[in-house]
Amino acid sequence: MDITDDKLLRIALVTSLIGLIGLIIFTPSIEVKEVKIKDITRAMIDEEVSIDCVVSDVKSSKSGSSYFLTINDGTGQMPLIIFESQIAQMQSNKLEIEDFKDKKVNVVGKITEYNNEMEIVLSSGDSLKIIS
């Protein structure tokens, strides 16, 4: 069996279509892993996680372009970093960072490490929601 350019093109096209259909079908079923702060390890760096917690402190950076929230879920606490673009997105939804202080929230963010400390970087302006 000779493989011609035409056959190779058809095989590549069919394989690509199968892959795209698979992505469309399985993407909605991918969920963010819900974790407790005490269970977060360095092995989880760059992983996106969800945490139900209370915002115990809100501080802005010296430039005022970023915010550092301290979150606590009863098993531990850690910093949550919110960057300028996410703040702008939150403000466009009529939310202020200070509104989250002492509220129970759900956070979706990426685990990172800075100065040998674990922290969470908020995924988007919609990834911080008050739950009670």
Instruction: Report pLDDT for 90.
Output: 86
Instruction: Report pLDDT for 30.
Output: 67
Q: Which two tokens stand for residue 66?
A: 């970023």
Please name the residue that has the structure tokens 């550092």: 68
The class (CATH top level) of 33-130 is: mainly beta
Please name the residue that has the structure tokens 């989880």: 44
Collapsed DSSP state (helix, strand, coil) of residue 57: strand
Instruction: Report pLDDT for 56.
Output: 94
Length of the chain, in residues: 132
Alpha carbons 130 and 26: distance in angstroms, whole number? 28
Neighbours of 55 (CB within 10 A): 22
Q: How far is CA 92 from the centre of its chain?
A: 19
Distances (CA, A) of 65 to 53, 69, 118: 24, 13, 21
Task: Dump pLDDT digits (tens) for 40-97.
Answer: 999 999 999 999 999 999 999 888 789 999 999 999 999 999 998 888 888 888 888 8
Task: Dump pLDDT digits (tens) for 18-49.
Answer: 999 988 887 766 678 899 999 999 999 999 99
User: Domain residue spans in the chain?
Assistant: 1-30, 33-130
Instruction: Report pLDDT for 2.
Output: 78
Instruction: Report pLDDT for 1.
Output: 65
Instruction: Report pLDDT for 29.
Output: 63
Give the pTM. 0.74
